[in-house]
Structure 1
Amino acid sequence: MIAAAFYGDDFTGSVDALVQFRRAGCTGVLVTSPDGVKGALGGDPDVVGIAGIARSLPADELDAEVRPALELLRDLDVPVVQYKACSTADSSPVVGSLGRVIEIGRDVFGPAAVPVQFAQPDFGRYTFFGHHFARDGEVVYRLDRQPTMAHHPVTPATESDLARHLGAQTAQPVGALHWTAYDGDADAVVRAWRESAAAAVVCDGFADEHLDLIGRAVLTSDAQRFVLGAGGLSLGIGRALGRTGGVPPTSATPAPGPTLVLSGSGSPRTAAQLAAAERTGWSTVHLLVPGAADEAIARHAAGADVVVHTTRPGPSATSREIEERLAQVGAACLARDPRTRLIVCGGDTSGNVLRRLGVDTLSVAALPWDNVALCHAMGGPYDRPVEVVLKGGQMGHEDLFDDVRSGRSRGNDAH
């Protein structure tokens, strides 16, 4: 029987949720559309997830994307369904609105208060008295001062108080539950949720014990079937489930063929990873210069490890054009050499590129780079697993690309 299910608002975040459940000993599978859920149940996983694209959608398009997925997961009659959001609460009233998601979730699952937790300490994400903090490099910043999020091109963080941040996205009230009210007691947390007049309750967290407490409370409650939060919430729920399916290996072998990076990420961290790859001899091609696709395919055919990117300034294009061109390069390279180890960068880019490549399911094969996972992708034209790493803009250490190529393990990645 399925013990938990989730919808992820982008593909890299969806993989993170699956990783956290797997770390807790839960078996699991991730599908790239609701149509794949039925087939995924045949393997009797503990957890099933749907990798979605809601984070990048206008608020008025969320209902069409999110509601059918949540209704499908509700009808599986699982104890808890999580809407997996980014650990920096990326959203606004007009794009990827988590306030609108709360409204949809309560329509689908009932009017109980929705527990919300964005804390993920191993990623450097902490919520203290309702205010959220995020690490960048070695420094922890208040969310609205964190360099990447404060200057995010689509959903810049202007507020660190998560109840205020979410409350600006919905007419429904959003409350907070501070750690001083926890007392290590899941029943006390459940009572606070039940007694709250808010539509959603932001829960503090700055240590693993807080994740575990909220996870136990979620499973103790018979009312809070729908929850919203980051990978820390997935980990807490997974641990509370008490499964013994084992965790993925923390080592990987070198790539069996060339390694190909398809990057639509413009983050400073991805730029640093690109520069590090160049220093170790990778070929780099700016996707939007004339002839770039043919050049990248030719270099890959010659056996080079290639980064195809839009990370540095260059000609402009729409997100859809970038994703289509990246998928064109990826499809051609995989057709020529299916042993290619693929790295796709960018939370929004990843989902749209993998869907265009025909990927149906993802499973976690190994965790050699802390929270950056080596996955096996299946579906469409692929009769054997394709090795895939999905990397959000803020994920991974500087030498990640070369470590993925060589199979070198590395811990303590920041996201």
Structure 2
Amino acid sequence: MPPTRSRPQSRCAERPSVSARCVSEQVQSDQVQSGGVQSGGVQSEQSSRGLRAAFYGDDFTGSVDALLQFSRRGWRGRLFVGLPGDDALAQAAASCDVVGIAGIARSLSTDRLDDELRPVFQALTRLGPHVLQYKACSTADSSPAIGSIGRVIEIGREVVSDAPVPMLFAQPDFGRYTVFGHHFAAEGATVYRLDRQPTMSTHPTTPMTESDLAVHLGRQTALPIGAVAHTAFGAPGDLAAALHDSPAAALVLDALDETHLVAIGEAIRSLPGPVFAVGSGGLSHGVAAADPGSASPPPTRTSSSGPILAVSGSRSAQTRRQADAAAAAGWLVRPLPLDGSDAVLDEVIAALGAGRSVVLTSDDADIAAAADRPVLEAIAECAASVVSAAVRAGATGRVIVCGGDTSSRITGLLGVGSLSIAANPWANIVLLRAHAADPAIDGLELLLKGGQVGEVDLFDRILALGEPGL
């Protein structure tokens, strides 16, 4: 069975390989075992109703967001880093409400999606969840050539269910809204129509030139794509009937607020399963909010302290603003040394050793120094090398990684086998605990964030969580 993610060749020192492993927000480092969890590792009783949902995340940060949305509403969950065997999945399903697999489909060419997704959808469907979610980005960025959601719909209908596919990309608490089928996304304090949003309209890989999501996705598949406006949700049961009876293969659903998310969650819950659905963390939110669980939500802070090393593979304007704000607050900010310069590495370790936090950026890095390597690969390898060196030197145990694709690559290069939720300080910010065979990496605290995620002062606010008395 093919793996769900590949690890790029690392230029770092050789590290022991780590097989795909499961993770729960309630699993501690010494309880995580290769391929599964020790007996008693999940500190909660088995859900009496069995597995309620499963999901595949199209990138690393999106997978973490989905897990967070479910866990906030009392659902017990585990996130696998890659596709494990059926036994490990079954063990997770026996004790959890939701099981997820972190993948890389968002960055894959369309001809690679079948090999990536079909084995995952088959494995998750065998677990018997009522809902199987393809967790997509809340900006729906995709194209006929890269990360094609149209192709995802085709595969999901072939493997999971040929019923109409509910699609919810809105995530109101993250500034993402769908109104009469058109999508809107906030940047800073301003909400833009998607095709005019400064970052997404000029995205280097999948620029969003169309805000009508049915039109946008219709360009990626020959299947008919429809939409249901929030004004047509009607009385309880009406939306479920609209979803069940639609002649369209998939339907874009409006959402402006919590009531719409819950209405969609309730409609999906009432449909005959399995339901294949596509959407953002807003979809995870709605499904879980319509049927809350009994587990405790994640804590708001951890016991970690000391300086932070932030590395960025994102060219987002928001990440640049965050780096500039950190510089103004006294952090050392430098471009990633893509040329392999030891001088920058020495400066980073010295700063961290002196208690000064560091940000390494990529939007101003010397891309020409990447030579014949793909730029994203060069950035991830460089960042992972610096993180590894700093952690092994004992200079830091707290790391921020900016960029979804960068996060998935760096965790692989570092040999991270699985991740657990350590804390949810506020909003959609989540601190993770790394679990790895390498003792230097095991226990590392990570914030893996999308380029546009977080307020301008995010880095300094995370740093403050480790200050005594706060």
TM-score range, shorter chain: over 0.9
Structure number with higher helix proportion: 1
Question: 1:34-183 alignment to 2 at 5 Å?
Answer: 34-35=83-84, 38-39=87-88, 42=91, 44-183=95-234
- SS of the residue corresponding to residue 360 of structure 1 reads strand
Deviation of the 1:284 alpha carbon: 2.2
Question: 1:2-13 alignment to 2 at 5 Å?
Answer: 2-13=51-62
CA distance in 1, matches of 2:390, 2:82: 24
Moved more, 94-103 or 356-365: 356-365
CA distance in 2, matches of 1:38, 1:152: 40
CA distance in 2, matches of 1:5, 1:327: 30
Post-superposition CA distance 1:204-224 (Å, at most 9, x none): 111111111111111111145
Post-superposition CA distance 1:25-64 (Å, at most 9, x none): 1122222101277546646222221111111111111111
When the two structures are superposed, what TM-score results if normalisation uses the length of structure 2?
A: 0.82
Deviation of the 1:292 alpha carbon: 3.8
The residue aligned with 1:309 is 361
Question: 1:3-402 alignment to 2 at 5 Å?
Answer: 3-35=52-84, 38-39=87-88, 42=91, 44-185=95-236, 187-223=237-273, 225-253=275-303, 255-292=304-341, 295-296=344-345, 299-300=348-349, 302-303=353-354, 304-312=356-364, 314-316=366-368, 317=370, 318-337=375-394, 340-382=397-439, 384-402=442-460
Deviation of the 1:332 alpha carbon: 2.1
RMSD of aligned Cα (Å): 2.0
Deviation of the 1:288 alpha carbon: 3.6
- SS of the residue corresponding to residue 186 of structure 2 reads strand
- SS of the residue corresponding to residue 307 of structure 1 reads strand
Deviation of the 1:289 alpha carbon: 5.0
Change in 2 beyond 3 A, CA 1:59/1:77: same
The residue aligned with 2:30 is none
In 1, are the aligned partners of 2:130 and 2:273 still within 8 Å (CA)?
A: no
Q: Aligned AA for 1:259? A: I
Deviation of the 1:242 alpha carbon: 2.0
CA distance in 2, matches of 1:56, 1:327: 19
Change in 2 beyond 3 A, CA 1:104/1:297: farther
- SS of the residue corresponding to residue 133 of structure 2 reads strand
Moved more, 46-55 or 289-298: 289-298
In 2, are the aligned partners of 1:37 and 1:48 still within 8 Å (CA)?
A: no
Post-superposition CA distance 1:64-91 (Å, at most 9, x none): 1111111111111111110000100010
Q: Aligned AA for 1:276? A: A
Deviation of the 1:23 alpha carbon: 1.3
Q: How many residues align?
A: 407
Q: Aligned AA for 1:229? A: G
Q: % of aligned pairs identical?
A: 48
Deviation of the 1:262 alpha carbon: 1.6
Change in 2 beyond 3 A, CA 1:260/1:40: farther
CA distance in 2, matches of 1:97, 1:292: 38
Q: Aligned AA for 2:454? A: G
Moved more, 289-298 or 336-345: 289-298
CA distance in 2, matches of 1:145, 1:313: 27
Uncovered stretches (5+) of structure 2, i.e. residues with no partner: 1-49
Q: Aligned AA for 1:21? A: F
In 2, are the aligned partners of 1:177 and 1:201 still within 8 Å (CA)?
A: yes
Post-superposition CA distance 1:256-299 (Å, at most 9, x none): 23311121001100001111111122122311454446623552
In 1, are the aligned partners of 2:90 and 2:127 still within 8 Å (CA)?
A: no
CA distance in 1, matches of 2:105, 2:345: 30
Moved more, 309-318 or 240-249: 309-318
Deviation of the 1:353 alpha carbon: 0.8
- SS of the residue corresponding to residue 175 of structure 1 reads strand
Q: Aligned AA for 1:363? A: S
Post-superposition CA distance 1:142-201 (Å, at most 9, x none): 11111111111111111111100110100111011111221241x222211221111111
CA distance in 1, matches of 2:402, 2:331: 16
Moved more, 238-247 or 134-143: 238-247
Change in 2 beyond 3 A, CA 1:260/1:41: farther
